[in-house]
Structure 1
Amino acid sequence: MISIIFSTQGGWGDKVRLQLHSGIFHQEMPSIDRVESLQGVRNVRRIEAHGPTGSSNSANISKNPKAVASKFSTTEMPERSVISAISNLERKRRNQSNQIISLVHKNMQAPTAPTYNEKMLANYAPVYVMLPLGVVSNDNVFEDKTGMEKQLKELRAAGVDGIMPSMSFHQCGGNIGDEVTIPLPQWVLDIGETDPDIFYTNRKGNRNKEYLTIGVDMQPLFDGRTAVQMYSDYMKSFREHMSDFLEAGLIIDIEVGLGPAGELRYPSYPESQGWVFPGIGEFQCYDKYLKAEFKEAATNAGHCEWELPDNAGEYNDTPGSTEFFGLNGTYLTENGKFFLTWYSSKLLNHGDEILDEANKAFLGCKVKLAAKVAGIQWWYKSDSHAAELTSGYYNLKDRDGYRPIARMLS
């Protein structure tokens, strides 16, 4: 006889006595001493009835316990009496089971939380949360230690596994759900005053200061460093100053920012510039650095005459109102396909470069690196998938734009 802890939710449950018969677990049921019928009590041979549980997480209790008579066969008893006897036994068995369960629940203490490794062995999906925005001020001040301690205790009590640090290289503010504004570092903004092309730019020349353009990933414009080198230095500094927490296993998951709102995408639908759902958004590749890269790529492809799109509409247009995304639009032409391939490839290369630096920075640490991909679902059922294309996801009904991203992340 063995005792096994089980529950329908795969966690800590009630103790149920199971017995192994012929390699199959059975739940042990109360022994039967007698049969009660309308005609009195008949003694029977004492046996143990078992209900097979099979191999499921929770045991299935047999609803038809059987008794074997020692002197009288059941055929000698009126059929109605047999049925009544079985019903009475079943009712008593259920009552007894309910009493036991009630007693266990009444005296059961709160279980000890399983360890992280135990959860992983049970195919447990860990849950991490971000710290509230604005925990540390722009002046590097921890504003509300008491309040933060209270929130962390509440998270622990709710079963949350931990906090996920975020390597953020973007501005907070200007996106859906942003309740505070945390801009890029002032010294970066100062460089942008003299060279505004370090920021993403739409066709009309509007600058988006929430993230540096991919065009400066390899440009040494920041005191001799490129944008990717700055991101790398930040992650190396984090490892150096948080080494105690990393070695102790308190930090086991790190999110690496790859674009606006931390997501691998272009800032194609900024609320700060008037976009409202479900506008198609705009391409963000008109800074001088990306324009030069596109011209070089087109020239190398033998089409020096090709230019960046000038017919893709504005933030709040619909696909059908533009030449680029409309019926038989530019996106289906050789020029359009070349541009979309280049535009999406730049995004993939950007993510790949930063994640390579993250792998180097945290080499040897027992941490998992996470990245975010945006869920651009609006206009998904239109042929051109306009909102996805402006965001950098070259996804069409006959072209999977997310598989290359998955390969890059793997």
Structure 2
Amino acid sequence: MQFEFQFYRASILHFPKNTSQPDDNFNYFKDGLLVTHNGLVKDIGHFQQLKQDYVIENLHDYSGKLLIPGLIDSHLHFPQTEMIASYGEQLLEWLQNYTFPTEDKFQHPEYAALIAETFLDQLLSNGTTTAMVYSTVHKQATDALFSAAQQRNMCLIAGKVCMDRNCPEPLRDTPLSAQKDSATLIDNWHGKDRLLYALTPRFAPTSTPEQFAALAELAQQYPDVFVQTHLSENKHEIDWVKQLYPNFKHYLDVYDHYQLVRKRAVFGHCLHLHQHEWDLMHDKQASAAFCPTSNLFLGSGLFDLQQADKYQVDVILATDVGAGTSFNMLRTQGEAYKVCQLQGTRLSPLRGLYMMTQGAASALDLEHKIGNLNVGSEADFVVLDPAFNVLTDLRTQQHISDQGIESPQDVVFALTMLADERCVSATYVAGEQAYKK
């Protein structure tokens, strides 16, 4: 039986607005109530206060659990789902030995559809409700991903990878086909239901100037689409870009020349940037995707959060599956904490959470829709169980009482070190349950 309003009782934590100080600017209701209606947040507050304003007919009681906005993963590759945890190599060798052979399978629509189902199920079971996703060079694979996300009513940003050189022939498109296929996908999917499109050159070494020029035309024609690509992940990659584009000042200058550095542009990794690149990122309001598990797995380097803060560049967390080693954003936050520790930089539990909820939504220019639990926002949220096994029960029991969670910061931090998909009790997409443990 469906009710007009849905009610969720839990300890509720979110960031209601954009902030540079998330440790001081959050809303927390120890014994809270979230009210949804027609896929949107209708109300939020303390249970004892709000219960007087409604006839609560359909209460989902998650007392003792933590309810947060749906998590946002801002950089990952859906065709690499099956090759996660493939042994060894650094970036360029890893692409040749693992990535390209795997992506070749996605020329078959049925196979792409099968992996898309698994990929999205993995996201939802880990509490991720929005993702910015790389497909393959195949238009039909991108269609399959969008179709699967549409069936789940997810807010998904995705794009067809564009590559016309330095890749196997079966994965190579042309400037014209990249432009034509991308335009068709934009017309078919961008803004349809909760789906959004991202122009997706894989990275500078795999696109010719002619292909970049074709994508620049699309960037100007469609100013509200997103842009996603890779930037300065690996030092050998940077040297390669210098050889291929000798007349440009630096790696990011290549993308900027072709109108691809702007608001709603997310550059994956950004490990070895020069001062001028940080300045350009700030000036153009582009964002950096911090992918700690991938950077450690491939030995690419350590992201410098302090440097990003210095230049006031938005930083958002991402798994980068399949070089990234987990779909779980909480575990990804834990690895980001360790990367910062190695450099003497502080990453607090709440800042990490902000970087994959409200902070990510703001960087993507979507904070009016997702990333928070403000009234009127789309009702994407996840319920976390701080005591999902014996160890986490032992670790967090001192912070949980009959009234709710006493110290959400400590519980969040513990989960970043200990959590996996078992900590997710339920995931809701636009007010509908999309996953239940």
TM score, norm. by length of structure 1: 0.25
Greater percentage in helix: 2
**Which of structures 1 and 2 has the bigger CA Rg?**
1
TM-score scaled by structure 2? 0.24
Tell me which of the two structures has the higher relative contact order, counting C-alpha pairs closer than 8 angstroms and 6 or more residues apart: 2
